[in-house]
Chains A and B, each alone.
Chain A
């Protein structure tokens, strides 16, 4: 019998707490902190794996992805810079790269480069313009929930299912221009709802 891991209350923690867990893993190899990260991010990584628009997608692949990602989180914890990015941004990038490498393995593509070479995660400092988006905790999630359904749907297809714009257009029957404009609108909405709500952000800290 599988026990569901649903520590949903943890979603309500300010993002900084996850950064503290990361630092504990980086500095002290703290397995308890790592276990908390696993409980929270494991199901997200698995859902991300299961959502991939590919013939290679399977529950086994998704479980393997969770393991690969968590091992990388452990091994690369020292590269995590809380002042540069929040934990979920960092783990999303790791999950994307692990998923790409998994697909390459399935397609038997041999190459001197790994996804980390082409999508650098571990050295690239993120630019300062992101400060607005970082550490803003709860209302970031609210911002996503406030988007119109069709914008959330298209963000999902692009970022989670890994479809190209052309694939989204083909599968939804929407013109490519509509795909692009929905993405742009979603982006603008997210940006304004994050910037327009400074009072609430201060309240979460």
Chain B
């Protein structure tokens, strides 16, 4: 059961299509886990369709366009490159998570193990994924059992969606599916709680220097005093 959900503004902007692609990736990932938000999104979609249906009938469409459409249907031109599909087993390390959206699999066609994982301290690995829009970086974070991230703040908005395992900070425990937004300037100190590793999807306003954020972690026992 997910506890941390996107609020109605997030869901509305998702349904209306005004979120950026990488923000939409986070919301759609959460929806895969959360039935409550799914039904809320479906309801919002119905509202959108009502407004769509009730637009003033001002736009006229040339009836001849119908023949053009039929013509395109009968003579399809395949200009687009074949859609990239997830390699079977791309998400192998997450096979316990059935609810993972295919979209994340498509972002790692060579599989999760073949991503370029960067070691950040003893307990953390980070792999960047291809960007979906200019403004935001997308990455996966792998937190090993017992790992603690030094207290850090955020230079831009950061969205985290837990894919498997769990972690906690001063505000609570986050489990698979949870959707967490950190605003710039918020500080927190995440900790892996369980014995299993925790994998998160993370979307940050670019540019955020992950190394800047995580290299402070070198000794989790040293209380880190952050200077603003």
Q: Which residues of A contact B (CB under 8 A)?
A: 2-6, 8, 31, 35, 38-39, 42-44, 46-48, 50-51, 62-63, 66-67, 70-71, 74-75, 86, 88-89, 91-93, 95-97, 99-100, 104, 109, 111-115, 117-120, 124, 126-130, 133-134, 140-141, 143-145, 152, 155-156, 158-160, 162-165, 167, 180, 183-184, 186-187, 190-191
Contacts A42-B65, A164-B18: A184 and B50 contacting too (C-beta < 8 A)? no
Interface window among B36-44, B155-163, B189-197 = B36-44
Q: Which residues of B contact A (CB under 8 A)?
A: 8-9, 12-19, 21, 24-25, 28, 35, 38-39, 42-63, 65-66, 68-70, 72-73, 83-84, 101-103, 106-107, 109, 130-134
Main secondary structure, interface of B, reads: helix
Contacts A92-B49, A126-B42: A99 and B17 contacting too (C-beta < 8 A)? yes
Pairs A-B, 6 closest by C-beta atoms: A127-B39, A92-B49, A47-B59, A46-B59, A159-B48, A89-B49
Q: Which residues of B contact A38 (CB under 8 A)?
A: 61, 65-66, 69
Report whether A113 and B103 are in contact in the complex, using a CB–CB cutoff of 8 Å. yes
Which residue among A4, A62, A119, A126 has the maximum number of chain B CB atoms within 10 Å of its CB?
A119
Report whether B107 and A159 are in contact in the complex, using a CB–CB cutoff of 8 Å. no
Q: Which residues of A contact B134 (CB under 8 A)?
A: 109
14 A-B interface contacts by CB (under 8 A): A38-B66, A38-B69, A43-B57, A46-B61, A47-B59, A111-B21, A113-B107, A115-B17, A117-B103, A128-B39, A159-B51, A165-B9, A167-B18, A183-B8
Report whether B60 and A5 are in contact in the complex, using a CB–CB cutoff of 8 Å. yes
Report whether B42 and A66 are in contact in the complex, using a CB–CB cutoff of 8 Å. no
Report whether B73 and A74 are in contact in the complex, using a CB–CB cutoff of 8 Å. yes
Q: Which residues of A contact B8 (CB under 8 A)?
A: 180, 183-184
**B107 nearest CB across to chain A (Å):** 6
Report whether B61 and A120 are in contact in the complex, using a CB–CB cutoff of 8 Å. no
Smallest CB gap from B60: residue in A: A4
Contacts A118-B28, A127-B39: A160 and B49 contacting too (C-beta < 8 A)? no
Main secondary structure, interface of A, reads: helix
Report whether A118 and B13 are in contact in the complex, using a CB–CB cutoff of 8 Å. no
Residue in A31, A88, A117, A163 whose beta carbon sits within 8 Å of that of B52 in the complex: A88
Q: With A and B bound together, what is the CA distance between A50 and B107 in angstroms? A: 32
Contacts A47-B56, A113-B132: A129 and B39 contacting too (C-beta < 8 A)? yes
Report whether B21 and A118 are in contact in the complex, using a CB–CB cutoff of 8 Å. yes
Q: Which residues of B contact A167 (CB under 8 A)?
A: 18
Residue in A42, A97, A113, A126 whose beta carbon sits within 8 Å of that of B17 in the complex: A97
Q: With A and B bound together, what is the CA distance between A10 and B46 in angstroms? A: 20
